[in-house]
Amino acid sequence: MKPRVLIARRAPAAVVERLSAHFDVDCHAGEAPLAPDELRARLAGKAGAYITGTERITAELLDACPGLRAVCTMTVGYNHIDLAACTARGVLVTHTPDVLTETTADFGFALLMATARRMSEGERLLRDGGWKSWAWDFLAGADVYNTTLGILGMGRIGQAIARRGRFGFGMQLVYHNRSRLAADIEAELGARHVAKDELLRQADHLVLVLPYSAESHHCIAAAELALMKPTATLVNIARGGIVDEDALAAALRERRIAAAGLDVFEGEPRVNPALLSLPNVVLTPHIASATLPTRLAMAGLAADNLVAALTGATPPTPLNPEVLSA
C-alpha cells in the first residue's frame, strides 16, 4: 500500500502527478487554506504533509496525527512550523531555500526603489487625475544610488540584496546579523557589520530580511524607528510580525521616517487599517518570491523533499536532519 499524503494547498499539476506516482494523495484543491480543524481531520492517517506558509504545524496537531513522518513546506521561512515539536516526535521537516533567493532579492530591491521614488503614490495620483503640471518638488523622493543600504538579517537573500546595492547602485553597505559574514564576503561586498542601533542610525534605506521568531517579534518598534533618519525608507520582505505596525504607522504619519515598503503583514491577509490610509507606504500582498519559474522551482523542491523523505532517500533541504540519523 502506498503511503498517504496530504497536499494542503492547490499545487502545480506536475507536482500532483509526481506525488501521485509514489503516494496515495489527498489534495485540497480549494483556494482558501484549510481551517485548523479541517487540516487536523485531513492529516489524520497521513504519513506526509505538503504545505505552504498558510498551514500551521503545532505540537497539538502533531499529537493528533501520530502517523505523520514528514512535513514539507513550499517556503523558505518556517515560522509556521513548530520545528522543535516536530524533531521531538521524529517528524522530518524540509523547506525550499536557494531556489527563491535571486527572485526575492529582485523584489526587495524593486520595493526599495518604488518606496524611495514614490512610485505607487505617483501612479495613484495620475490615475485619480491629480497630475496637473510640472513642479520642482513634485513627488520628489529619496536617492538610491550612492546612498547607505542597511540590511537587518544577512542570510542568502540579504546577501543577494547587498550585491544589487553594491554592484548595481554603488551603495555603501552596513548590516546587522547574529553571525558576521566571513571576512572575504564582507570585503567583496564592502559590507560593515554594525550594532543594530548603529544600523538604524546610518541606513538611508533599511531592508528587513531576518527570520521571524519570538526573538525577532516586533524588533522594529517605536524605539527603533526613533533612531532612524527622517529621510529613511524601511522595507520589509521577511515576516510582518517583525515590525510593530502601529508604531510604524505613527512614524510614517508624523514623517519621523519618510516611507515604507511592505510585502508582509502581521495577521495577513488582513492589513492594519492605519497603514492602508497612508500615502507614504507601498503595500504588496506577500509576493516577493512570486515569479512563475521560481514558484515552480519551490513547488518542485518541496515535492523532491517529500518523495525522498518517505522513500528512504536523503531529502535535499531538510531543516532537522538529526531526525534522519535518529
Q: Could you say which of 89, 166, 201, 286 is catalytic?
A: 286
Q: Name the one range near ligand DGY by CB under 6 A: 73-81, 155-163, 184-192, 253-261.
A: 73-81
- Contacting residue, 103, 148, 289, 294, with ligand DGY by CB under 6 A: 289
Q: Min. distance of Cβ 122 from ligand DGY in angstroms?
A: 27
- 25 to 54, contacts with ligand DGY by CB under 6 A? 53
Task: Establish whether 268 is a catalytic residue.
Answer: yes
Q: Could you say which of 102, 186, 188, 268 is catalytic?
A: 268
Question: Cα 32 vs. chain centroid, distance in angstroms?
Answer: 20
Is residue 207 part of the contact set for ligand DGY (CB under 6 A)? no
Decide: 108 and 209 in contact? Cβ < 8 Å.
yes
Q: Min. distance of Cβ 100 from ligand DGY in angstroms?
A: 6
By beta-carbon proximity to ligand DGY, the closer residue of 101 and 177 is 101
By beta-carbon proximity to ligand DGY, the closer residue of 148 and 159 is 159
CA atoms within 13 A on the CB side of 159: 13
* H-only helix segments in the chain: 13-22, 36-43, 59-64, 83-88, 101-116, 119-127, 156-163, 169, 183-189, 196-202, 222-227, 245-253, 273-276, 292-310, 322-325
- Contacting residue, 61, 76, 112, 243, with ligand DGY by CB under 6 A: 76
Provide the grid cell at 204: 538611508
Is residue 77 part of the contact set for ligand DGY (CB under 6 A)? yes
Task: Establish whether 286 is a catalytic residue.
Answer: yes
Cα angle value 154/157/159 (rounded, 5°): 50
Q: Min. distance of Cβ 74 from ligand DGY in angstroms?
A: 7
- 86 to 125, contacts with ligand DGY by CB under 6 A? 100
Provide the grid cell at 224: 527603533
Is residue 75 part of the contact set for ligand DGY (CB under 6 A)? yes
Residue carrying C-alpha cell 506525488: 19
Is residue 305 part of the contact set for ligand DGY (CB under 6 A)? no
Cα angle value 263/268/50 (rounded, 5°): 95
Cα gap 128→42, rounded to integer Å:
47
DSSP 243: B
Q: Could you say which of 239, 245, 266, 295 is catalytic?
A: 239
User: How far lies 75's CA from each of 58, 107, 116, 236, in Å?
Assistant: 17, 16, 28, 17
Q: Name the one range near ligand DGY by CB under 6 A: 32-40, 74-82, 179-187, 253-261.
A: 74-82
Give Cβ neighbours of residue 106 (< 8 Å, ≥ 6 apart): 164
By beta-carbon proximity to ligand DGY, the closer residue of 148 and 236 is 236
Is residue 321 part of the contact set for ligand DGY (CB under 6 A)? no
Q: Min. distance of Cβ 77 from ligand DGY in angstroms?
A: 3
Return residues touching ligand DGY (CB under 6 A): 53, 75-77, 100, 286, 289
Question: Which residues are catalytically annotated?
Answer: 239, 268, 286
